[in-house]
Amino acid sequence: MPRTILVAPTGHGVGLTTVCLGLIRACEHLGFRVGFQRPIAQPLPGPGGSADQTTAIVQNATSVRPPPPLSAEEAERYLSDDLMDELMERVVERHQQAAEGADVVIVEALWAAEQQLYASAVNKALARTLDADVVLVAAQRGREQAHVVEEVEIAAGAYGVPAVSGVILNMVDPGPGEDLSAAAVPATVAMAEPPALSRELQAVKQALADQGLNLVGAVPLRRGLLAPRVWDLARGLGAEVVFPGAMHERRVRDVIVCGRTVPGVLDSFQPGTLLIAPSERHDILLAASLASLTGIHLAGLLMTHGDPPDERVMRLCRRAFAAGLPLLRVKENSLQTANRILSMDRKVPVDDPERAEEAMNHVAGHLDPAWLRKLVGTPREARISPAAFRFQLLRRARQVHARIVLPEGDEPRTVAAAAICTERGLARCVLLAHPDRVRQVAADQGITLPAGLEILDPDACREPYVTAMVELRKHRGLTESAARDQLQDTVVLGTMMVQLGHADGLVSGAVHTTANTIRPALQLIRTRPGCDLVSSCFFMLLPDQVLVFADCAVNPDPTAEQLADIALATADTAAAFGVEPRVAMISYATGASAEGAEVEKVVKATALARSRRPDLLIDGPLQYDAAIVPSVGAAKAPGSTVAGRARVFIFPDLNTGNTTYKAVQRSAGVVSIGPVLQGLARPVNDLSRGALVDDIVFTIALTGIQAAALPPVGR
């Protein structure tokens, strides 16, 4: 049976849903299969509060598919008839659905709302009925430590201290010098270990320990995580959308009422700021439009008093609106509007997965993984979840901290990824680009370049590599003049840095083609000893597991010998990154069910791979369904140690591999990391030209880990 964790509040407004999301993410990071249950729905507080949305948020923001909660009306009917046991039977019925296939089920308890004064009694019944470990959530929010500790002690007494497995302190006040008002850096995964507790929190931990309670998480308040989209504000205010612009993407991190003339408010024109001004303030409208056109991504402009601005002024501003500046209008005055915004509910909306993702990773990064691992136990099967894969990938990258050169140094996504990697200690990134250009790109995106991020001007560092490149390519008759010309290409220059040990690896492809990235590596770095073939693989992050596909990017029609090489190289790559190397050699036939040259190639490749690596589990030919579906595998390949349980899939040619990986990626909404290049003497990795910032971050991390597994190059 899976472990059940009941997450219960000690008081009002503790951020219960956010903590539940963080626990789900933390469990996934540790490789656990997670279920979630909200036993009874609760409406949001305040007049006109909408129906409970927690289950929908979990479903939209995670891979978990929770059962629907019981309605508050149904629960109240049971309670009014004094039928608590019958109510718990209904809860258990749905709990079984949540627990199916899970190692742990996170259950969100009720919070005491004005309409649901029975919450405390129901929560105690839930803990007893589900045999749950109770985790209490308290919020600091500027309160004295003694008050927080007392509140936790009272709440723990209701369940019995032995039943309370841990206490999570949410909304912890920032320490001296901490600026938590800015937006969080785009989240990837949580930290391997939570930050050390401050002296004040150590005192809280000890006070709780004296009562037999264990502080297992202290989550600091990050106001950036509360930033709604302009769309959310418009919806909450009932505002008229004059021009939508990028209202679904831009977030409101600060609100300014423009009561002064333009020079008096210009310093407030910052990315993420919502400007509030009366509709007759055409100077503010013009200034905001001009700022937007110069690259300052204001959250938007909210005009008050309901009157439309002068149409002539609006015509002057249309370019700014078309470029993304949202323009809203309300009937109230500016002060009333600002107060309404301040009093708005800041819960994560159902349709805002980006904000939910940031909140999940923020909370998960401040929980004690050792406590959670001990509480839940070891996963019941050898598998790695996508969250665990990403977590382990970035944790190992931090340990390696390799020097990775990025030839596309002024490409916006690459600059953002390099800043994240440097800030998080994932790699020592080197941007090959003119420093002024990099700084301009960063400023345009609102990115602060970390102090440790290295920027190399290609014009200033190119000449020393000319002689070395001539020596490497002298068998091809390369002259100094030709080498100097080729080194104008930053990919070539970066490849020389890797070859000479001045960098541990290279990542390119956000702008360049795969051929542009690989060709210099083949010419200058070449393959590692004992390997005659460069191939590629993709890590496919399915909802509940990670698979490895190869070769999907490099070799059009490999021979049987080359196919065996690809299989062995991919098995080693998979094992190096925590994926069990159970290898399926894919064909249109399983076993001897069909004949043909294509099938025979796979038969021969399987035999070659097995003879060279008898330690690996390799089987083929297998059809894809026989390789991945246990029931099909058992029927088509009985006795196979791979069929139905494969983790590594080797396709017979590039046409099949590339088509399959893209079909899975696009049709199933699967995240893929790659192509990861295999067989080079030093790591060089390619990117999709549609790569997202997080894709580049993961590729940089992966490249660093590859470098650490290879013999060092003399510096």
The predicted-structure confidence for 147-181, as pLDDT tens digits, reads as follows: 889 999 999 988 876 779 899 998 887 655 444 44
Question: Mean per-residue pLDDT for 591-619?
Answer: 90
In angstroms, the first-to-last Cα distance of the chain is 54
- Residue closest to 36 by CA, chosen among 23, 46, 47, 45: 23
The better pLDDT of the pair 382, 32 is held by: 32
At residue 48, the pLDDT reads: 40
Cα 570 versus chain centre, distance: 25
Question: What value does the CA radius of gyration of the chain take, rounded to a whole number of Å?
Answer: 29
* Other C-beta atoms lying within 10 Å of the C-beta of residue 664: 19
At residue 694, the pLDDT reads: 83
User: Per DSSP, what are the bridge partners of residue 7?
Assistant: 108, 135
How far is residue 58 from each of residues 42, 52, 54, 347, measured CA to CA in Å? Answer: 15, 12, 6, 13
Query: Residue 678 has which token pair?
Result: 């295999």
* Other C-beta atoms lying within 10 Å of the C-beta of residue 196: 7
Cis peptide before 551 (omega within 30 of 0): yes
Residue 148 to residue 141: CA distance in whole angstroms: 10
Domain with CATH 3.40.50.10750 in the chain: 535-679
Q: How confident is the model at residue 478 (pLDDT cuts 50, 70, 90)?
A: confident
Q: What percent of the chain has pLDDT over 70?
A: 92
The better pLDDT of the pair 187, 274 is held by: 274
| Averaged confidence pLDDT in the chain | 86
Query: What is the full DSSP assignment across 90-143?
Result: HHHHHHHHHHTT-SEEEEE----BTTBTTHHHHHHHHHHHTTPEEEEEEE-TT-
Predicted confidence (pLDDT) per residue in 548-559, tens digit:
999 998 899 999
**Contacts for 274 with CB less than 8 Å, ≥ 6 apart:** 230, 233, 252, 254, 255, 256, 298, 299, 300, 301, 302, 341
Does the pLDDT of residue 510 top 80, yes or no? yes
Question: Mean per-residue pLDDT for 332-336?
Answer: 89
Tell me the backbone φ, ψ of residue 273, rounded to 5 degrees: -90, 130
Domain with CATH 3.40.1390.20 in the chain: 230-342
In one letter, which amino acid is 128? R
Does the pLDDT of residue 495 top 90, yes or no? yes
Whether the CB-CB separation of 394 and 424 falls below 8 Å is answered with yes
Residue 529 to residue 263: CA distance in whole angstroms: 66
CATH 3.40.50.10950 is held by the domain 386-525 = yes
Query: Residue 41 has which token pair?
Result: 């729905």
Looking only at Cα atoms, what is the longest distance across the chain?
A: 93
Residue 182 to residue 184: CA distance in whole angstroms: 6
At residue 114, the pLDDT reads: 56
At residue 200, the pLDDT reads: 83
370-397 burial, b if ≥16 CB within 10 A, otherwise e?
ebbbebbeebeeebbbbbbbbbbbbbbb
In one letter, which amino acid is 163? A
Does the pLDDT of residue 494 top 70, yes or no? yes
CA atoms within 13 A on the CB side of 289: 18
- Residue closest to 361 by CA, chosen among 481, 231, 189, 141: 189
What is the pTM for the complete model shown?
0.58
Q: How confident is the model at residue 51 (pLDDT cuts 50, 70, 90)?
A: low
How far is residue 365 from each of residues 188, 212, 219, 368, measured CA to CA in Å? Answer: 11, 24, 8, 8
Domain with CATH 3.40.50.10950 in the chain: 386-525
Residue 248 to residue 349: CA distance in whole angstroms: 12
At residue 177, the pLDDT reads: 46
Q: How confident is the model at residue 188 (pLDDT cuts 50, 70, 90)?
A: very low
At residue 52, the pLDDT reads: 64
Does the pLDDT of residue 387 top 80, yes or no? no
Predicted confidence (pLDDT) per residue in 84-140, tens digit:
877 888 888 888 889 898 999 999 999 876 556 788 889 988 888 888 899 999 988
Residue 557 to residue 27: CA distance in whole angstroms: 42
Does the pLDDT of residue 449 top 50, yes or no? yes
Tell me the backbone φ, ψ of residue 602, rounded to 5 degrees: -70, -40
Q: Could you tell me the sign of the dihedral formed by the alpha carbons of 599, 601, 604, 610, in that order? A: negative
Residue 233 to residue 302: CA distance in whole angstroms: 10
Query: Parallel, antiparallel, or unpaired: how do β-strands 684-686 and 34-37 relate?
Result: unpaired
Whether the CB-CB separation of 480 and 466 falls below 8 Å is answered with yes
* Other C-beta atoms lying within 10 Å of the C-beta of residue 671: 17
At residue 420, the pLDDT reads: 93
At residue 502, the pLDDT reads: 94
Predicted confidence (pLDDT) per residue in 216-228, tens digit:
998 887 766 678 8
Reported as type and span, the H/E element at residue 172 is strand 164-172
At residue 492, the pLDDT reads: 93
- Residue closest to 213 by CA, chosen among 144, 141, 159, 174: 159
Query: Parallel, antiparallel, or unpaired: how do β-strands 327-329 and 535-541 relate?
Result: unpaired
Q: How confident is the model at residue 385 (pLDDT cuts 50, 70, 90)?
A: low
Does the pLDDT of residue 183 top 60, yes or no? no
Does the pLDDT of residue 184 top 50, yes or no? no
Q: How confident is the model at residue 402 (pLDDT cuts 50, 70, 90)?
A: very high
Whether the CB-CB separation of 504 and 704 falls below 8 Å is answered with yes
Residue 277 to residue 700: CA distance in whole angstroms: 45
Question: Mean per-residue pLDDT for 540-545?
Answer: 80
Query: Parallel, antiparallel, or unpaired: how do β-strands 535-541 and 546-550 relate?
Result: antiparallel
Q: What percent of the chain has pLDDT over 90?
A: 42
Whether the CB-CB separation of 525 and 682 falls below 8 Å is answered with yes
Q: Which CATH class is domain 535-679?
A: alpha beta
Q: Crossing angle, helix 693-708 and helix 412-423, to 10 degrees?
A: 60
Domain with CATH 3.40.50.300 in the chain: 3-225+350-376
Question: Mean per-residue pLDDT for 308-329?
Answer: 89
Predicted confidence (pLDDT) per residue in 204-248, tens digit:
889 899 989 999 998 887 766 678 888 888 888 889 999 999 998
Question: Mean per-residue pLDDT for 193-203?
Answer: 77
Q: Crossing angle, helix 72-80 and helix 84-99, to 10 degrees?
A: 140
Q: Which CATH class is domain 230-342?
A: alpha beta
613-634 burial, b if ≥16 CB within 10 A, otherwise e?
beebbbbbbbbbebbbbeebbe
Q: Which CATH class is domain 3-225+350-376?
A: alpha beta
Query: What is the full DSSP assignment across 635-678?
Result: HHSTT-SSTT--SEEE-SSHHHHHHHHHHHHHHTT-EEEEEEEE
At residue 116, the pLDDT reads: 60
Alpha helices in 502-553 (DSSP H): 514-520
- Residue closest to 273 by CA, chosen among 182, 206, 371: 182
- Residue closest to 326 by CA, chosen among 317, 335, 334: 317
Question: Mean per-residue pLDDT for 27-42?
Answer: 90
At residue 326, the pLDDT reads: 93
At residue 682, the pLDDT reads: 92
Whether the CB-CB separation of 454 and 431 falls below 8 Å is answered with yes
**Contacts for 343 with CB less than 8 Å, ≥ 6 apart:** none
Question: Mean per-residue pLDDT for 425-441?
Answer: 94
**Contacts for 326 with CB less than 8 Å, ≥ 6 apart:** 230, 234, 241, 243, 244, 245, 246, 247, 250, 299, 300, 301
Query: Parallel, antiparallel, or unpaired: how do β-strands 428-432 and 671-678 relate?
Result: unpaired
Residue 383 to residue 183: CA distance in whole angstroms: 34
Whether the CB-CB separation of 518 and 554 falls below 8 Å is answered with yes
Whether the CB-CB separation of 112 and 75 falls below 8 Å is answered with no
Cis peptide before 675 (omega within 30 of 0): yes
